[in-house]
Amino acid sequence: MTLPLLVLGVLSAIAASSELPLVQGGQRLDLFLEPVFADAAALVPAAYAAHAEGAEIGLMLISLAVALVGSFVAYRFYVADPAIPRRLAEQTRGIYKALFNKYWVDEAYDALIVQPLYRWSVKLWEDFDDAVIDGAVNGVGRMIQGDPTSAAAQVGYGAGLRVDPHPGGGGRDRLLALR
C-alpha–C-alpha distance, residues 113 and 69, integer Å: 39
- In the chain, count of helices (H) and strands (E)? 11, 2
Going residue by residue through the chain (179 aa), what tens digit of pLDDT does each one get?
899 999 999 988 887 777 776 666 667 777 777 788 777 767 776 656 566 667 777 888 999 999 999 999 999 999 999 999 999 999 999 999 999 999 999 999 999 999 999 999 999 888 888 888 888 888 887 777 766 666 555 555 555 555 555 555 544 445 444 44
Residue 179: its pLDDT value, please? 43
Residue 45: its pLDDT value, please? 67
Residues recorded for the chain: 179
59, 20 contact by CB (below 8 A): no
The secondary structure element, H or E, covering residue 61 is: helix 55-75
Where do the structural domains in the chain lie, given as residue ranges? Answer: 15-103, 109-177
Least Cα distance to 30 among 39, 22, 21 occurs for 21
Q: Which residues contact 174 (CB under 8 A, 6 or more apart)?
A: 147, 149, 163, 164, 165, 166
3-class SS shares of the chain: helix, strand, coil, % to 5? 70, 5, 25
149, 174 contact by CB (below 8 A): yes
The secondary structure element, H or E, covering residue 63 is: helix 55-75
